[in-house]
Structure 1
């Protein structure tokens, strides 16, 4: 139902009648305008400015409307009016999406006329969390006041839509209609679930057949893989035996290497000893070279001395020859002219170049002469 604000304050607006008893609410035109502006989020001052009346008049109209509908808060009043068809649908420009379960439970409790404290106790939340959830829904809907948010949630179908008549027979009839609707919905849901179950069973059967074929294929592959694993295990055993043999050879080589290392240590010791002996021999050779150099120098001196001695011996031999010749000449000369005999002295052996063998005595020398 679409109703606009009217400048005729004396007219009346009637809600949709109860489908069971036909009861309906008759609202004066001005109170209906106040109700519409309240549902759009206007406060009492803004509503009074738009209607050209005082804020107290707006507050009194809201009190009368709450008394007429039995609402405790303006939010519950707006919800009742929306369910009765007294308000135009307030739909946001952009659909905010479905509410979460905590948000839906909180606004369902607020739509029943409970305050924030009572709603917090009813949904089991802290008052701070209740305020945070309320502000989050307000931001999603693009409104600032609770009545406008409740009106939009009623228009979006987030809150249960039912006639505000509270008579017992009307409640029973409504519950019966709801129950029949629920039973029909349950039957349709059950049929849909059965069809889905049959489709799922067919799909599962096809999947089972495919899985069985896949299992057979995997069984064949498993047998082949097992044969390959046996071959690999045999190769691994052979490789392990080869590794053991190689380990034994490595241990023997290690023992040989240890012995070679010990022999190398001994050889190293002997080499060090030989190096020490070589260094000692080098020092002795240096000493021998120095001695040989000295001997060469001494032999040169000796050779020069021997040459001087040989020269002196040759001169002495020549002198002795001259002396012998003079003696012979003297022996041939007459006795008057013969000089007196000169005492003869033996020539030392080292000064006799013509006879160097055997010891020389004065008697042998005199007998030879």
Structure 2
């Protein structure tokens, strides 16, 4: 089943490790929204989307470099709204969720930089998705970073995995075992490929994602709405406290699965609740608003706010979870209305030996 893996890097290359998001970054990669449902049907909707992406990039670039992939047809809008400090690369794209269509960067022995190029098929070949251009979107960052390409036979997205940087990974059964992504794969196949490509030593399987994310236009269960490692041994966990919301049961199931779990080093996991926003619905139905979908960068943590009473308590919890980092927020409602959040549109390139030399 794994015969197509590792086309550019030897399949038995020792020591690839996906660093934790909290480790030092060389830069952040993003992609500019330029078409389809992301921009909507009017100039106003399109401008809202562009400003949402720009707000994230312009906040991050104050702390670390940002490289933005921009379709050539969107050059004027990108240069109008982005800080001049944001580096631009030009390439046609279908979509703008670079966490999912871009590579997952890893480090090898001696700090060598690698980049895993997962197969991508529109979140499980969903009828509304287009991915002909996005299937090659990872190559831009791989080439620019000078990384060793690690080709994978696993259909996967960056939003579908989280790691503590020490070999513990969180995934969901509804993503990696999705028959629309990986027909015929079983858990052992996925775990073997994660071990080869990103250094997984223990994989913790969560049963499903949030309710709206499991419906039309969702990812079918990305983990970056559910839980994330604030530090080795410590997990921030999405907690929907309102019993009216269907995710109240999802949160309970999530906690049941994680309770008593240990990480790759044998440590019992400490679970820290990160309560969901008080807002339960929008015009489309139950929301999947989640403060878990934040991005940790050099010296700061950037989270999505929702003009919600829970925004301030969430900022306090995040500040305690990531001591020494400035806590920043951007309005994430335009992002979630389009199917994702701050974490979904960003992808970290870790600092490597090559990067330090440059």
Give the alignment's TM-score, normalised by structure 1: 0.23
In proportion to residue count, which structure has more strand? 2
**Which has the larger Rg?**
1
In proportion to residue count, which structure has more helix? 1
* Higher RCO, 1 vs 2 (CA within 8 Å, ≥6 residues apart): 2
Give the alignment's TM-score, normalised by structure 2: 0.23
